[in-house]
Amino acid sequence: MKRKFLFLIAASLLLISSFLRADEGMWIPLLIEKYNIKIMQEKGFRLTAEDIYSVNRACMKDAIVIFGGGCTGELISPEGLLITNHHCGYGMIQRHSTLENDYLTNGFWAMDRSQELPNEGLTVTFLRRMEDVTAEVLKGVSDDIPETERDKIISQNIAAIRKKAEAEGTGFSIQIRPFFMGNQYFLFMNETFRDVRLVGAPPSSIGKFGGETDNWVWPRHTGDFSLFRIYADKNNKPAEYSKDNVPYKPVYYFPISLKGVKEGDFTMVFGYPGSTNQYVPSYHIDMVRNYINPKMIEIRTHKIEIMEKAMAADRLVRLQYASNKSGLANSWKRWIGENQGIDRLEVIARKKAYEERFTNWVNGDRERIQKYGNILPAYKELYDHLRIYQLVNSYTSEVLNGAAAFGISRRINTLSEMVRGNTEQRIIDEMRNNLLRVTGAIFRDYNMKVDMDIFVVVMDLYGKNMPSEWQSPGYKKVYAMCKGDFRTLAGRIYQTSPFTDEARFTAFIKNFSKKSLKVLDQDVFFILGKDFNEFIANNVREELSSLNNRLQQLNRIYMKAQMEFEKDKVFYPDANSTLRVAYGQVQGYFSRDAVYFTHYTTLKGIIEKDNPEIYDYDVPQKLRDLYRTRDFGRYTQNGEVPVCFVANNHTTGGNSGSPVINAEGHLIGINFDRAWEGVASDMAFNPEQSRNISLDIRYALFIIDKFAGAGYLLKEMTIIE
């Protein structure tokens, strides 16, 4: 009986898997009517393409923003209330946090609008209109003109299109972006708001529950959300921060559904995916997998370990380095998963097999041989040359961005050049005062011991991983001077350099003169920072730029060739931080042999993970109490509070914070991650395991209402029971 039961489970899962085929693609909203709406409706979508994108009436696109330049956010009330991920708002939450008001640890909730916190530099951007301008951009361009002439014509055409669009007088900013590697172009009219205030954020023990341990992993139990409000002037137009500004009145905002999700439900992710490489040759993936990622993983591993050790021992250090470490770890873990996915899916071998079929097609026609016969050999030659330049550039940047003392030393470059060049004293004084004004901010998230440990490890790794002929002259001199003993060197220079201590830096700037130039010329951080940058500028940047320009040309031709090779296929463009639609269905998956993950998690799983001895799993006492008393309110499914769910929508970085929308156009979740097994989907989508991870909106409302006691916010939302 038991065997028969297990067989039936396996058979039903197989049936579900065959029915719920993942829909690969990040689709252009303007073209949904042409390419996708019928398929979407067959999968359960009950609205129209105009409900998604329209310039004639309010629609979903009017409720979606680029949040801060790297995430997505969505409006959930007529009063400009916006929800995005906790990790998207993390930098702002950290900036407002102090030891006295530790919002990272304790959370923050504005109990009325007067308590909402402004965020200097934070913006949100709406897409107001997009238009296919391919014909205008490529006017006068043909396949037989030189590349420089092509670029010149395109630049002139884009300038003319921009001028015409700006003449409409909308006040919107104009972007013209290439798609399909430069085979298609779209114009975007955007509106940016600059007064965006923090409304609420759960404590990190909810918003980052599981920490880096659970990052990129399913099952997941992270309450990854934060709330902001957009403010505008009295005419509902963008304005700089002012106490006189009022909440923005959107033309559209998302209703919120409490109906929940079940296996097979239609889902749509609408947001701003950052970058993918679906159509690159095998040589690119080989470079990433075997040449770049391993070196970058190694150096990040050491930096993260240093930060984690210090953060575990000191609460102030944890506050100082929380955002920095989180940013480092996110890419670090993705690179690891990417490499594993490339290996597991045999992506390089599959690409080579595709290239063999492509070559056979090319060789079947004389005209195709002339147009495309040299593409793959040209790629091989280029990548053989590109690899080292890409590595040196990326690795040197990682070193310079490792120890903060390098970055602090760069702050003085302009002042030192002014003094060397005998600039007018009034201008020098102004520059000096500017530096003094930001000194506190420069050193706010700095700890000397942490920085010193990072300096030692990045110097050691640079010497180990950079071939001698690609090491900077300054590094070689410093290495010789200290005989490779960077630990002893660091112990000395961190006690004397003006760039490793706030008081020394302040005194150095206040008294900066020509005599100070001698100090700079002997300072290891200033010498190395300048030398690394000059080495890249003189030996890497120009050739790397030339190689990348050549690569763009090959990519454009190869993309066009692939579209001819598979003429019956509907292609979607790679992500490029423009608004896209991805659709699919709620669906669990097999992680590995005999291990099947269901599509959702609950608060019960949070309590099961609870461990006060481990920072990432220390559940707040109030959340424990809510679970113990079963005080769940209306936010339950089958007696439990749902927390997260997975679906097979095609997403990537930049989709963080994107709305997850059901068949009726209601908000059911907030996208925040991808499952580890499918992280290589930026280069090879795997329908069996590519899953986007989303916060169930009911958990967000449960935290706002029951945990934070900020239920007043729910009154401005439209909630559908």
Closest alpha carbon to 320 in 329, 307, 301: 307
Tokens matching residue 697: 């909106």
* 590 beta partners: 596
Which three-class secondary structure state does DSSP give residue 53? coil
- Measured at the CA of 666, the angle between CA 663 and CA 668, to 5 degrees, comes to 95
- Asked whether 117 and 197 are in contact (CB, 8 A), the reply is yes
Contacts of 414 (CB under 8 A, 6+ apart): 431
* 66 beta partners: 72, 125
Please report, for residues 69, 89, 206, 315, the alpha-carbon distance to residue 615 in angstroms, rounded to integers and kept in the order given. Answer: 30, 20, 11, 12
Which three-class secondary structure state does DSSP give residue 56? coil
Set 195, 224, 453, 682: catalytic member: 224
Set 205, 497, 656, 694: catalytic member: 656
Please give the Cα distance from 141 to 201 (Å, whole number).
51
Contacts of 635 (CB under 8 A, 6+ apart): 258, 641, 642, 698, 699, 701, 702, 705, 706
- Asked whether 198 and 93 are in contact (CB, 8 A), the reply is yes
Amino acid at 36: N
Please report, for residues 150, 156, 412, 719, the alpha-carbon distance to residue 138 in angstroms, rounded to integers and kept in the order given. Answer: 9, 10, 45, 47
- Would you call 331 a catalytic residue per the annotation? no
- Asked whether 711 and 705 are in contact (CB, 8 A), the reply is yes
Which three-class secondary structure state does DSSP give residue 597? strand
Tokens matching residue 167: 């003449």
- Would you call 265 a catalytic residue per the annotation? no
Tokens matching residue 356: 């063999």
Please report, for residues 380, 427, 441, 442, the alpha-carbon distance to residue 431 in angstroms, rounded to integers and kept in the order given. Answer: 49, 6, 16, 15
Please give the Cα distance from 642 to 668 (Å, whole number).
11
Set 54, 77, 86, 87: catalytic member: 87
- Asked whether 38 and 49 are in contact (CB, 8 A), the reply is no
Using a 10 angstrom Cβ sphere, with 0-12 exposed, 13-18 middle and 19 or more buried, the burial of residue 473 is exposed
User: How many residues appear in the chain?
Assistant: 721
User: In sequence order, what E strands does 571-611 have?
Assistant: 580-585, 589-592, 595-597, 600-602
- Measured at the CA of 127, the angle between CA 124 and CA 128, to 5 degrees, comes to 125
Please give the Cα distance from 190 to 171 (Å, whole number).
9
CA 465 to chain centre: 27
Alpha carbons within 13 angstroms on the beta-carbon side of residue 339 total 16
Q: Which H or E run contains 518? A: helix 514-520
- Would you call 656 a catalytic residue per the annotation? yes
Q: Which CB contacts under 8 angstroms, 24+ apart, belong to 683-686?
A: 683/276, 683/277, 683/278, 683/280, 683/285, 683/288, 683/338, 683/342, 683/347, 684/278, 684/341, 684/342, 684/345, 684/347, 684/350, 685/22, 685/24, 685/278, 685/650, 686/341, 686/345
Would you please indicate which residues are annotated as catalytic (active-site) residues? 87, 224, 656
